[in-house]
Amino acid sequence: MTSQPWLGDACSLVDAFRKGELSPVEALDASYGAISRSELNAFCHLDEEAARTAAAAADVSLPFGGVPIAVKELDCVEGWPYSEASLVFEGRVADSTSTMVERLRGAGAVLAGQTTASEFGGVNCTHTKIHGTTRNPWNPERTPGGSSGGTAAAVAGGLIPIATGGDGGGSIRIPAGYVGMFGLKSTFGRIPRGPHTMQPPLTVTIGCISRSVRDTARWFDVCNGFDPRDTLSLPRVEGWETGLGGHLGELRGKRAAIHVDLGAAFVNPAVAEIVTAGAESLIADAGLERVDVSVSLPQAGFEWAMGNLVTLQASLGDLYPGCADLFTPEIMFGMNIATSQFNLVLAGANEKFRIAMNESMADLFEEVDFVFCATNPDVPFNASGPLPLSVGDRDLAAEFGIEKALGNNGALTMPANLTGNPAVTIPAGTLDGMPIGMQVIGKHHQEELLLDLAVVAERERPWPLVAPGYPV
């Protein structure tokens, strides 16, 4: 029996099961051993008895047959804790399982446990009052990002081969970029979010953080497709994994623009250099045509936050404001602004902003097929926060004020959430020993082209499947 967790991708683990080289029980036990030794604080709940029962009965002929997976704590598994990473809901237990997780379980996945997230998914740092600080396996003093920070740390730290994530403002792409993994934010509605789907603010997509492009493709094969409990979910699309690499000829001649900051963010010049070099190489390798177009998207942090805080207020109901002292400082800061400033006039202005953002993105994609930019403005910051107010040596708070400085966190990822465009983050290199992610934004419903671009990048410049030195 192996004592080491599987350090390849999830698809190769299924292959090993089918060849009889390893059993699902052995793989699960090895993951639990690594989790018990880990100081990353990536997990907040383990379901060992049920998982071992499932592993023993696993049908390895299924797409994820026997693969141990983790579920982000903002997702629901019946009978598991459902605190939304907040002391406000400490002790609450989920009474249903999400559609995505049910589909994964039906495809043979073994639900090993629950990964940590930022409180209510609202911050790109996984540090909460209920679970403490989650750490980046590339450097435990740094954050793995958020809100899917525990998922990112678990996959990159060698604890679990693949895990669920959600992306309402960058929460798959930001942490995947910070830990050197692959992350796809699909077209809005690609994977249904039911049951009990709260539709506003129409920014949230769900998926995974993975070690390989084919793992993500297989995940979408299993999980995509309309569900009536999410009335905005999209019809099913087949052939995500079998189609990988099948559009390389179609990529040739597609138009690509490189705008590292999107006109919306302040990016560390050293990060910009790495992303530009990675984008130029991928454009050449894929046979794209680089075009020079103007890209200047407005910083969307305030409007994004107001829309999301309205839905948080709806979730809290009569508990707010009496529960406010349980919030992390970042959530408290946002709620204070929202309750003091948000009104019908501002709500109308927010909708006008979204219309303008949609028009700007649509205009842009009439001229290009892909936009290359950074995933994050800088290298990962301190694991326990606070959110950075500077980039490199530049003090954004002193130049522009605290709200604009805070808005720089996520400024590169939020536009695709507001407009529903698909976007991927691909490992592009390292800076100061930390991963740098390159983001590619594409046209609606064209994830297959983004996946094939990532296949080219993965083939030409393979990235480490786990962080150096992990698991311990």
The per-residue pLDDT for range 146-190, each reduced to its tens digit, is 999 999 999 999 999 999 999 999 999 999 999 999 999 999 999
| Mean pLDDT of the 216-231 span | 98
Residue 45: predicted pLDDT: 98
**Please, is 449 exposed, middle or buried when counting C-beta atoms within 10 Å of its C-beta (0-12, 13-18, 19+)?**
buried
Distance CA 456, CA 245 (A): 8
Residue type, 209: I
* Burial call 195-228: b when 16+ CB within 10 Å, e when fewer: bebeeebebbbbbbbbbbbbbbbbbbbbbbbebe
Residue ranges and CATH numbers for the domains of the chain are 11-301+332-460 (3.90.1300.10)
| Mean pLDDT of the 308-334 span | 88
Distance CA 182, CA 155 (A): 10
Each residue's pLDDT tens digit, 70-81:
999 999 999 999
Lowest-confidence pick of 48-52, 169-173, 346-350: 346-350
Q: Which two tokens stand for residue 207?
A: 């998926």
Instruction: Tell me which residues are annotated as active site.
Output: 72, 147, 171
Place of tokens 């060698």: 158
Lowest-confidence pick of 43-47, 98-102, 226-230, 330-334: 330-334
Confidence of residue 395 (pLDDT cuts 50, 70, 90): very high
Residue 1: predicted pLDDT: 53
Q: How far is CA 157 from CA 112, 393, 422, in A?
A: 16, 30, 26
Assess whether pLDDT exceeds 70 at residue 292: yes
Assess whether pLDDT exceeds 90 at residue 340: no
On whether the CB atoms of residues 414 and 301 are closer than 8 A, the answer is yes
* Burial call 151-179: b when 16+ CB within 10 Å, e when fewer: bbbbbbbbbbbbbbbbbbbbbbbbbbbbb
| Mean pLDDT of the 348-370 span | 92
Distance CA 372, CA 459 (A): 18
Assess whether pLDDT exceeds 80 at residue 310: no
Assess whether pLDDT exceeds 90 at residue 3: no
Q: Which letter does DSSP use for residue 319 in this model? A: G
Assess whether pLDDT exceeds 90 at residue 332: no
On whether the CB atoms of residues 141 and 383 are closer than 8 A, the answer is yes
Distance CA 311, CA 346 (A): 15
Q: Which two tokens stand for residue 219?
A: 């995940």
Distance CA 163, CA 5 (A): 15
Residue 348: predicted pLDDT: 85
Q: Which residue has the higher pLDDT, 339 or 290?
A: 290
Q: Which residue has the higher pLDDT, 73 or 348?
A: 73
Distance CA 465, CA 472 (A): 15
Distance CA 152, CA 41 (A): 11
Q: How many Cβ atoms sit within 10 Å of the Cβ of residue 448? A: 20
Predicted TM-score (pTM) of this structure: 0.96
Residue 440: predicted pLDDT: 98
% of the chain residues with pLDDT over 70: 100
* List of residues 6+ apart from 397 with CB closer than 8 A: 389, 390, 405
Confidence of residue 308 (pLDDT cuts 50, 70, 90): confident
Confidence of residue 140 (pLDDT cuts 50, 70, 90): very high
End-to-end CA distance of the chain: 18
Lowest-confidence pick of 70-79, 106-115, 318-327: 318-327
Q: How many residues are listed for the chain in this entry?
A: 472
